[in-house]
Structure 1
């Protein structure tokens, strides 16, 4: 039933009086059912809900008191008014003490009746709301007390440190976990300002900074390094949050202090181990690559230059936000470490071809080209045995694809454009620049500017236009790297044309 729609049950053996009262209430937009006996009234109560029962006391057969007894016995929550012309004091006391609302003495005026009905309905509605409010408050209080007990149990049982301050930063609560991880007792801490921790175990803890962060972001997270007993270094992860009342007013701050010293020590040991492993890994890679280079007439610092060129060009791409989804610090570092592997496949090329002075025959050049597939097969067999490590993945890309060309005329697979891995696109520019600017058994060294002019003709053919344009912008950096690795040049140089394969 909508809250605005009210319904009244009228019980009176005078049929016309009941109908008149029902009609008067209807004009006030109050629905009314008028019956002349108790059984009919009970029948209506079984079918509908009412906001008020108005019954005559004296009825044929059963009385109004019998109806009241039925209502109370069946826990029907509805206010009850008696109408009577012969009030009985004893009955009235019994009626009112058992929950009856009021009496209307006959005879009465219709406006008086309507006023009484509206007043009782309104009063009962307010009492219901008040009763519900009291019930809700009791439930809320019981819930809060239960939560408080649970919260207290959690605070005391957790190994993490829990600290509570008032809004001024005065410590009002610490748990046993906090005492354990700080080495400070509650006697030393309670009623002290939070700054006592800065003076003892956590020099980096600043309440003003925490408060500013809490006002801006509703929470403060940090990790600090401190010292327990003025000697033990410890790491603690801290989270501070405001505590609010029902009106969302902050009345305290709660801090969770988690000792992460052991975790950080394990992490540092792991980092140290990984660094050592990476150094060993890099030494092995460089040694393998250098082994291949020793069989060639490429002298001295070729591998160091190649990796330095690649690093410089990759950093320039990163700074200009070119290929941002690929070029990051990890990519640059991995490229620097794996670039020396590019010609590792030359270990499988016969000496009479690898060390030949002068031009290669077409058949010999086909054999030279196979160093890319030899290198690929070598590294891929390692990958199958040890898994997809990132340095092997990039090493395979570089070894297999550094002689592919942007226009698709490279080898071994004739990849074109973006089909060529980015690492190989970068290395191709570095490798050609180094080949042009250093002495080889079949050619003399070109100067920096001459090499740049030759390479410009290969933009969009051999090299990616986008990457080559960046190379041109940092070409002086390549020259600086080249000059940093000085090599002795044979007294007699052959001034031969640049071979197709560089």
Structure 2
């Protein structure tokens, strides 16, 4: 039964009974129980006797008055008078009778009852009114005017002016005359601005004391917002269907167990199947390259772990024709209003062509790297070939530089900066540090002994010559070519941390990191190597000199990295010496053998 009617039934001061066509009790309100002083169990077990006492042993539509004695009831008075009205109501499940009992009272009490009804009628939230069968409104509550957006005093008096479709009004009146009631009849109304309102109409017939139909009472429940929302949802659903079927990415919907529920046209194209071939199949059996495993269960766990969404790139799929493709896949859980997962969606974009192109690019880059490496080594060897005393200087510089850079990237400030690619570029480009010496005459470059001031200035010019030469070539390539870091190193590896270096007099972190690292590697190797102007220093002496220049010539953090690894530097130095001059290995071993003989003696 309509909840509004039930609320009204509970609020009125009349006793209410509802019985079915077999006189079985369906409902009674609290007023009825109080009116006759009966408990609920007494009413349920004795309602047939009550109906017989009031003359409704066989229910029918009628109205009359009756006086009942206190026998069987709990009255204070010997008798009480009641007006009885029985109305036949028809529903989709059959019909029943609404029996209203009102105690006959004196004038003052009757007036109070009428005031109570008037108050209820005016304060109820839904629009309510009574009308003649010709559509003339007799009474209405404020909610009636509010629904139609009128001032109460200007509320419509003729329903024919309110109904959008006159046949809806005629159909309602016909049903009322046939069945006595209508429930939730959808109706279209005009408001004061001629906008259409949609209501559910519940009405019942009003009869006079003679049983003649005089009109009807109506309750309207405004459902305009709900119907508009339904319309928008239908439009949204239609638009979604169009979008779903025209979007370029393949979309597949799975149930929580992994069975395919739906897919769009793009998914058909991607996998080479028709819709009916895929729906009903399981994710593991159809889409995975390694078919038949429990991949979907693992996928669901990843989606849940990532709070409802998960992305995979370069996912391998197998098409119907057996071809393997690569996709970018985005998975999302679909939940209902309670948060329960009811399905999963997968949107995939075919990346096969891109993956193949990337592989070709990687192959090309690898070839280019080899070419670049050869070019850099070729540049650097120009200098080394002019000075035979430098030996394997370039190879040692590469190793020293790599070791210090690997140690530095353990520091938080360099963790993101010194990447694997940076390490590779730095190690390779470090050997370009002295490429500018190609422009220095042999008479100066190979001069034994100390340089005079003019010669020293010419030697210093090698950093600028090297940097400028590499810059010219670099500009002919790309902004981030393999020579970019080599140019920095050639220019600035003689700058000093305290700003007293050359050629620009840069200081601190204004000096590129690559140049700061190579600076220490170059100085260590120069100190421990024979040069035309000096003999080689011992490893210990070189370490002492470098440590003494911490914060002066060298970056303190890079000096710390050197000190942490200086024993490794010494081993690298010995390794290359043995490689260049195997006889030194023999001499070393021979010396140890003789020492052992002396010890034994």
Q: Under a length normalisation based on structure 1, what TM-score does the superposition of the two structures give?
A: 0.70
Higher-strand-fraction structure = 2
The C-alpha deviation readout for 1:353-387, integer Å capped at 9, x for no partner, is 11112222221111111101111221222234435
Per-residue deviation, 1:313: 0.5
The corresponding residue for 2:456 is 365
Residue 285, structure 1, aligned to residue 376, structure 2: yes
Residue 476, structure 1, aligned to residue 564, structure 2: no
Instruction: Specify whether residues 69 and 386 from structure 1 end up closer, same or farther in structure 2 by C-alpha distance, changes over 3 A only.
Output: same
Query: For residues 574 and 582 of structure 2, what CA distance do their matches in structure 1 show?
Result: 17
Query: For residues 241 and 350 of structure 2, what CA distance do their matches in structure 1 show?
Result: 21
The answer (yes or no) to whether the contact 1:164–1:174 under 8 Å persists in 2 is: yes
The worse-fitting range, judged by mean Cα deviation, of 331-340 and 318-327 is 318-327
Which secondary structure state, in structure 2, belongs to the residue aligned with residue 433 of structure 1? helix
The corresponding residue for 2:270 is 181
Query: For residues 201 and 179 of structure 1, what CA distance do their matches in structure 2 show?
Result: 20
The answer (yes or no) to whether the contact 2:273–2:320 under 8 Å persists in 1 is: no
The corresponding residue for 1:237 is 328
Q: How does 1:53-132 map to 2 (within 5 A)?
A: 53=153, 68-69=157-158, 72=161, 75-76=191-192, 127=220, 130-131=221-222
Instruction: Specify whether residues 310 and 230 from structure 1 end up closer, same or farther in structure 2 by C-alpha distance, changes over 3 A only.
Output: farther
Say which of 221, 227, 248 aligns to 2:311: 221
RMSD: 4.0
Say which of 297, 305, 309 aligns to 2:400: 309
Aligned length: 407
The C-alpha deviation readout for 1:294-345, integer Å capped at 9, x for no partner, is 2223433211111221111111000233434533333322211211111111
Residue 408, structure 1, aligned to residue 516, structure 2: no
Which secondary structure state, in structure 1, belongs to the residue aligned with residue 333 of structure 2? strand
The corresponding residue for 1:459 is 550
Say which of 523, 528, 531 aligns to 1:440: 531
Query: For residues 199 and 457 of structure 1, what CA distance do their matches in structure 2 show?
Result: 63
Which secondary structure state, in structure 1, belongs to the residue aligned with residue 390 of structure 2? coil
Query: For residues 565 and 402 of structure 2, what CA distance do their matches in structure 1 show?
Result: 12
The worse-fitting range, judged by mean Cα deviation, of 320-329 and 208-217 is 320-329
The C-alpha deviation readout for 1:120-177, integer Å capped at 9, x for no partner, is xxx6xxx4xx42xx33333333333333333333333344332212122222223343
Instruction: Specify whether residues 160 and 283 from structure 1 end up closer, same or farther in structure 2 by C-alpha distance, changes over 3 A only.
Output: same
The answer (yes or no) to whether the contact 1:201–1:228 under 8 Å persists in 2 is: no
5+ residue gaps in structure 2? 1-114, 125-144, 163-189, 198-207, 584-601
The corresponding residue for 2:473 is 382
5+ residue gaps in structure 1? 1-20, 31-44, 56-65, 79-86, 102-122, 492-502
The corresponding residue for 1:425 is 516
Instruction: Specify whether residues 411 and 75 from structure 1 end up closer, same or farther in structure 2 by C-alpha distance, changes over 3 A only.
Output: closer
Per-residue deviation, 1:221: 1.4
The answer (yes or no) to whether the contact 2:496–2:506 under 8 Å persists in 1 is: yes
Residue 351, structure 1, aligned to residue 445, structure 2: no
The corresponding residue for 1:191 is 280
Higher-helix-fraction structure = 1
Instruction: Specify whether residues 306 and 241 from structure 1 end up closer, same or farther in structure 2 by C-alpha distance, changes over 3 A only.
Output: same
Query: For residues 476 and 390 of structure 2, what CA distance do their matches in structure 1 show?
Result: 33
The corresponding residue for 1:143 is 232
Query: For residues 563 and 329 of structure 2, what CA distance do their matches in structure 1 show?
Result: 50
The answer (yes or no) to whether the contact 2:284–2:293 under 8 Å persists in 1 is: no
The worse-fitting range, judged by mean Cα deviation, of 176-185 and 256-265 is 176-185
The corresponding residue for 1:170 is 259
The C-alpha deviation readout for 1:69-116, integer Å capped at 9, x for no partner, is 4995794499xxxxxxxx9x9xx95xx66xx86xxxxxxxxxxxxxxx
The C-alpha deviation readout for 1:41-84, integer Å capped at 9, x for no partner, is xxxx9xxx76745x9xxxxxxxxxx9724995794499xxxxxx
Per-residue deviation, 1:389: 2.2
The C-alpha deviation readout for 1:152-205, integer Å capped at 9, x for no partner, is 333333443322121222222233433332244444433233221366666787
Which secondary structure state, in structure 1, belongs to the residue aligned with residue 409 of structure 2? helix
Query: For residues 322 and 361 of structure 1, what CA distance do their matches in structure 2 show?
Result: 42
Residue 250, structure 1, aligned to residue 333, structure 2: no
Instruction: Specify whether residues 470 and 203 from structure 1 end up closer, same or farther in structure 2 by C-alpha distance, changes over 3 A only.
Output: farther
Query: For residues 353 and 232 of structure 1, what CA distance do their matches in structure 2 show?
Result: 67
The answer (yes or no) to whether the contact 1:189–1:196 under 8 Å persists in 2 is: no
The answer (yes or no) to whether the contact 2:287–2:318 under 8 Å persists in 1 is: no
Does 1 or 2 have the higher relative contact order (CA < 8 Å, sep 6+)?
A: 1
